Amino acid sequence: MLRRTFAEKMNNAKVKAGAMRRRQAELANRGVDIAYLDDYDNLIATSEARNNEQEALKAALKAKTKEVDTALKAMEQKGSESDTVIKMNIPREEWVEFGITAKR
């Protein structure tokens, strides 16, 4: 069984809601009244709104991840430069104090 996408689910729900509104009189004896249809329409609208919020959060997360990656890369570069300066100016036996475990 194939999993339906959000867009497919929303399209199916809208088609169903529209058809149910058009044929509400035939469905009324099964409890499909205007309040039922209004509630269904509200659920559709809420689902769309929440999905839009989620997509905005995904975009923000992607941007923030890129910022973190950029900062991390700059930090690693600065750390590498620092290692070079330390190794050139501090005796090897004292490198451990700087967190450098390399032997060279």
pLDDT digits (tens, 9 = 90+) for 11-58: 999 999 999 999 999 999 999 999 999 999 999 999 999 999 999 999
pLDDT band at 90 (very low <50, low <70, confident <90, very high): very high
Residues 21, 38: contact at Cβ < 8 Å?
A: no
Sketch the domain layout of the chain as residue ranges. Answer: 6-98
